[in-house]
């Protein structure tokens, strides 16, 4: 459920008066999503998505996110494009929250990821990284390695409720990740950096399925995007797309994802070598945010909690990886 803020018909019509989007025909709340309230809008000018930004999004960062989406769309990436009002401004208040209208993307996200999704996903990720070039404003990754220790500390008191011994296991995993993290040690190779999505899970990638050959129709949800290692984005995708429902790793999916990515940008040797630790870090990042939500979400809250232990299984797999060969490279 992700309609935290209700919008009345009257308030929406007044809001839309500031846009050249024609007459409102219909609008409905979208149940999917976690962070913000989303509405599908239909006006005489077409279909749009209205997002009301909720408490976990810092309003001061919204211009960076909207600017990134505008830049990516202008450079050929299929992603939501903020629609400016008649005054040229894309962000304005609605029902007490900052809100923006974006273009609607066709397609559906894959409920069951197939190998056939993974190559186009890799291509789309590389296209995102290329399109991000030239967007020079930096947004540090607020959920990068420096945040994991403090996040684990916030889970310390109750983390073992998810699994006895979990906090001690994560302490050891984090220490090893920070020790091995690229750029952390003396003489470590600097990996290519740029604008990354940082949350490119299947529910953020839309496909159109033409006769069994799915093609990406758009990428959404840029509200964790930041400036970080490009290969870290690949590690997020390897975690989110290449494990089966029984949590076994599917190297065929990984190979397809990496082949798709490398058809547009070849990985540097240092990026290949860093894949295991980047994957460990990405697994830990989602484990920790899920664990925090697991222990801190009050009973009866609107948000569906996601299982942190799915990411413990992934982390343990990556801990067995001795090199990029584990990912089919």
Ligand X SMILES: N[C@@H](CCOP(=O)(O)O)C(=O)O
Which residues in this chain contact ligand X in the complex, by CB under 6 A? 33-35, 199, 201, 203-204, 221, 286, 289-290, 306
For residue 200, give the DSSP letter: -
* Residue 54 near residue 35 (C-beta atoms within 8 A): yes
- Pairwise CA distance, residues 80 & 247, whole Å: 31
Query: C-alpha angle 120/200/69, rounded to 5°?
Result: 95
Least distance in Å: CB of 222 to ligand X?
Answer: 10
Least distance in Å: CB of 66 to ligand ADP?
Answer: 13
Selected from 1, 105, 130, 247, the binder of ligand ADP by CB under 6 A is: 105
Q: Residue 2 interacts with ligand ADP (CB under 6 A)? A: yes
Element (H, E) at 117: helix 115-132
Selected from 38, 141, 239, 289, the binder of ligand ADP by CB under 6 A is: 38
Closest CB to ligand ADP belongs to which residue? 33
* Residue 261 near residue 126 (C-beta atoms within 8 A): yes
* Residue 276 near residue 321 (C-beta atoms within 8 A): yes
Least distance in Å: CB of 103 to ligand ADP?
Answer: 6
- Pairwise CA distance, residues 47 & 75, whole Å: 22
For ligand ADP, the closer CB: 58 or 153? 58
Least distance in Å: CB of 176 to ligand ADP?
Answer: 31
Sign of CA dihedral 98, 101, 104, 105: negative
For ligand ADP, the closer CB: 15 or 327? 15
Q: Which residues bind ligand ADP (CB under 6 A)?
A: 2, 30, 32-36, 38, 49, 80, 102, 104-105, 203-204, 220-221, 223
């Amino acid at each position: 459920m992700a309609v935290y803020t209700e919008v009345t018909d009257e308030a929406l019509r007044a809001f839309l008066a500031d846009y050249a989007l024609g007459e409102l025909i219909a609008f409905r709340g979208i149940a999917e999503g976690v962070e913000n309230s989303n509405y599908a809008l239909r006006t005489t000018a077409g279909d749009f998505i209205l997002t009301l930004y909720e408490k976990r999004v810092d309003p001061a960062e919204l211009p960076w996110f909207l600017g990134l989406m505008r830049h990516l769309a202008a450079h050929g990436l299929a992603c939501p494009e903020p629609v400016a009002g008649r005054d040229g401004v894309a962000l304005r208040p609605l029902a007490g929250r900052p809100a923006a209208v974006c273009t609607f993307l066709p397609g559906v996200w894959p409920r069951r990821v197939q190998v056939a999704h993974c190559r186009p996903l890799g291509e789309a990720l590389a296209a995102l990284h290329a399109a991000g070039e030239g967007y020079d404003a930096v947004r540090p990754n607020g959920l990068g390695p420096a945040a994991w220790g403090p996040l684990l500390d916030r889970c310390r008191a109750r983390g073992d409720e998810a699994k006895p011994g979990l906090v001690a296991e994560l302490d050891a995993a984090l220490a090893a990740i920070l020790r091995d993290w690229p750029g952390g040690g003396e003489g470590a190779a600097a990996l290519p950096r740029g604008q990354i999505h940082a949350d490119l899970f299947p529910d953020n990638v839309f496909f159109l399925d033409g006769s069994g050959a799915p093609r990406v129709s758009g990428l959404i949800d840029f509200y964790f995007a930041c400036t970080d290692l490009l290969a870290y984005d690949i590690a997020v995708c390897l975690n989110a797309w290449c494990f089966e429902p029984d949590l076994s790793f599917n190297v065929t999916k990984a190979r397809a994802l990496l082949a798709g990515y490398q058809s547009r940008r070849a990985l540097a040797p240092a990026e290949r070598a860093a894949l295991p630790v980047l994957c460990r870090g990405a697994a830990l990042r989602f484990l920790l945010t899920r664990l925090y939500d697991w222990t801190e979400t009050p009973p009866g809250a609107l948000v569906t909690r996601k299982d942190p232990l799915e990411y413990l299984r992934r982390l343990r797999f990556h801990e067995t990886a001795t090199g990029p060969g584990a990912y089919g490279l």
